[in-house]
Amino acid sequence: YMLANDNYESALKIDPNNLVARERLATSYYKMANNETADNALANELYSRSLQEWNTIAKQDPKNARAFFEQGKIYFYASKFRESAYNLSQYYRLRPDADNAPISRWFLAQSYDKLNQFDSAEPHLIFVIEKVDTVRTKANAMLAKGYFFTKKYKQSAEVYQRITDAQIKLDANETERYGYALFLSGD
């Protein structure tokens, strides 16, 4: 990757608006960071460089959906959920029907959940529940929790019921919320 990086950087010195070279440089930095297992400081520096390149791309071309997705993904893995939610929502606005919609909307829903923005997470969680089998249980639990904290107790109880009907065990906090949701919904 180092030789490729040198070539992309040389191309950008000649033409700083060469978005193809900038995308490839950002991707190269990201891959180098993923491969760096021994030095966390170096990996973080490489992720930061990738972010900087994607940010430059987004500024030069505000309709470049991939730049927003890549930034959102990096921020998500760095647990910077506010930044992740912003970038992934921009991505969703630009490409609502993208091939990677399930993963991007799953990251977006989790980011909103971590920010306690449950109403914003709801449509993305519903989409993920319908489209992605592997995270359906976790997405249902997030949806039920979100309904509970937004005082939609009946919907919360219904989603918790769906989870238990699938014979999935609730943890102690979920069981307590389920009980309260049933009680507060008048059941």
Is-contact 123 96, C-beta < 8 A?
no
pTM greater than 0.85 (yes/no): yes
pLDDT value for 124? 98
pLDDT value for 5? 81
pLDDT value for 38? 86
Is-contact 106 135, C-beta < 8 A?
yes
pLDDT along the chain (187 residues), means of 10: 83 92 94 90 94 96 97 96 98 95 97 98 97 95 97 96 93 95 87
pLDDT value for 187? 60
- Could you tell me where the DSSP H helices lie in the chain? 2-14, 19-35, 40-60, 65-77, 81-94, 101-114, 118-131, 136-149, 153-165, 172-184
- Residue 3, exposed/middle/buried by CB under 10 A (0-12, 13-18, 19+)? exposed
